[in-house]
């Protein structure tokens, strides 16, 4: 992303941000509230349109005018605000638009659909959920699991995780970190937004710091055995 600018009602949220990341990397984006982290990632995911600048994927210019276009380019985002349909089941949310059918193509094969949904949850390490359950009956942390599984269906090459651990227990967090490690092995790019620096140091290969809508630094999480911000860090 080069020279990305975005204003809201005359206030500049992004002031010509440059950002780069590569496949097989966990790249954390950190900064105070209002620094522009989520705005930058929503532009990449097609949820917002940039005012200026350009996006390149694999070195080629990319025009991302909608989340659907981002999905087709292999980019999926999991936000703090869930996109789940609460009055539908886990299965229907995970396989939305991709439900398996019988030979009569208008008739859903529910047995196969539930099997596929539970398989997808198991693949990312989130087991123990009944795929037939309504999303409205789930805890917030379980809804987060379903949101991640929904994104995983298409095996995106770029994952945007916006504060994914905010509602997860320690055990669920371990599963999330295991999933992130798996994605790295599959050469996916994981863009990880978090205020929790202990998490960032555990999972990130590089860290980009935003402040007041600008990129101020890019660091490795550790240098000489010291974390960023500790005395003696260079």
Spatial separation of the C-alpha atoms in residues 175 and 180, rounded to whole Å: 9
pLDDT at 233 over 80: no
pLDDT of residue 111: 92
Spatial separation of the C-alpha atoms in residues 31 and 200, rounded to whole Å: 12
Q: Kindly give, in sequence order, each residue whose CB lies less than 8 Å from that of residue 60, ignoring residues fewer than 6 positions away.
A: none
pTM for this model (two decimals): 0.86
Residue 98 DSSP symbol: -
2-54 residue pLDDT tens? 999 999 998 999 999 999 999 999 999 999 988 999 999 999 999 999 999 99
- Which residue segments constitute the domains of the chain, with CATH numbers given? 2-8+20-86+140-222 (3.40.50.300)
96-115 residue pLDDT tens? 888 889 877 778 899 999 99
Considering 119-128, 164-173, 202-211, the range whose residues carry the highest mean pLDDT is: 202-211
Spatial separation of the C-alpha atoms in residues 160 and 149, rounded to whole Å: 13
pLDDT of residue 222: 66
pLDDT of residue 103: 77
Spatial separation of the C-alpha atoms in residues 8 and 13, rounded to whole Å: 7
Q: Are 121 and 145 in contact (CB under 8 A)?
A: yes
Write down the mean pLDDT value for the chain. Answer: 88
pLDDT of residue 227: 42
pLDDT of residue 198: 87
- E strands, the chain, are 2-8, 11-17, 26-30, 52-57, 60-62, 75-78, 158-162, 189-193, 206-211, 214-219, 222-223, 226-227
Spatial separation of the C-alpha atoms in residues 136 and 2, rounded to whole Å: 40
192-230 residue pLDDT tens? 998 888 889 889 999 999 999 999 999 887 643 344 444
138-153 residue pLDDT tens? 999 899 889 988 888 8
């Amino acid at each position: 992303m080069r020279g990305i600018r975005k204003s809201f009602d005359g206030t500049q949220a992004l002031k010509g941000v440059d950002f780069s990341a590569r496949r097989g990397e966990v790249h954390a984006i950190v900064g105070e509230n209002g620094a522009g982290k989520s705005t930058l990632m929503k532009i990449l995911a097609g949820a917002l349109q940039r005012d200026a600048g350009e996006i390149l994927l694999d070195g080629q210019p990319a025009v991302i005018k909608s989340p659907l276009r981002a999905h087709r380019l292999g980019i999926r985002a999991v936000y703090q605000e869930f996109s789940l349909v609460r009055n539908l089941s886990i299965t229907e949310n995970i396989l939305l638009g991709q439900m398996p059918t019988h030979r009569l193509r208008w008739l859903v094969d529910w047995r196969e659909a539930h099997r596929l949904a539970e398989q997808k949850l198991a693949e990312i390490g989130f087991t123990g959920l009944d795929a037939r359950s309504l999303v409205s009956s789930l805890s917030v942390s379980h809804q987060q699991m379903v949101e991640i599984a929904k994104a995983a269906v298409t095996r995106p090459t770029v994952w945007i995780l916006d504060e994914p651990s905010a509602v997860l227990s320690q055990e669920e967090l371990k599963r999330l970190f295991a999933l992130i490690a798996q994605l790295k092995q599959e050469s996916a790019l994981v863009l990880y937004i978090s205020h929790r620096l202990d998490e960032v140091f555990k999972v990130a290969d590089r860290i980009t710091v935003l402040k007041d809508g600008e990129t101020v630094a890019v660091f490795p999480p550790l240098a000489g055995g010291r974390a960023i911000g500790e005395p003696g860090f260079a």
